[in-house]
Structure 1
Amino acid sequence: MTEDDQKQRLTQLEARIAAAKKAGSKAEKRADASHAQGELAWRMVIEMVSGLGIGFGIGYGLDSLFGTIPIFLVLFTLLGLAAGVNVMLRSAREIQAKTEAEAAKAKAERDERD
């Protein structure tokens, strides 16, 4: 092999390595995005269940304390459900605002390049 052939092969190898690195980084970004969606879903589920659990606990405690029929249990469980839904919707709005801001930023960058 001549030195020119070796240089040419080395250049081709470097180009293939660079292309493989670019393809790998795109796959990692997609995996991170799917994990972020999963984390968001779990966060919302936990917020809903914690609202229900806290409402149930307060209602049960008040019913035990006052010796009443489960009126407080039902009332505070429903209030806990409402609070959980409210927090869940707030989280969804927060994520939506963040996504819209990123989309607007990307659009502005594309417009600058054009």
Structure 2
Amino acid sequence: MRPAWRREGDALFLVVQWRAGSPRSLDVRVWLKDADGDKAVYPLDSRAIGWHDMTTEPGRTYTREFEVGMPLQHGRRYTVAAAVAENPSTEPDIQNSAVDGLQSGFLYR
């Protein structure tokens, strides 16, 4: 799994890519954190953006993205966090600083 981001003009998209070695049913979640990866910045509630019951095929790469629906500060660092779990899975509380997922940081310019 790989968390990433993509920018189109002023719009920022959270991107997550994953692949599985065998057929599986997965729940995929992504969210935006502050530079230290301690506090969720988007979404503002405790629930990550999610795609549920994603059926995978061996060797195929899957990509999902979601536009961040709020303005971000230019010159500030952010972290994209993502998590994949077998379906059904428990919703992670992204406002809990102990909930990490895989992370990728960037500077928003």
TM-score calculated relative to the size of structure 1: 0.18
Q: Which has the higher strand share?
A: 2
Q: Which has the higher contact order (CA 8 A, sep 6+)?
A: 2
Q: Which has the higher helix share?
A: 1
**Structure of larger gyration radius:** 1
TM-score calculated relative to the size of structure 2: 0.18
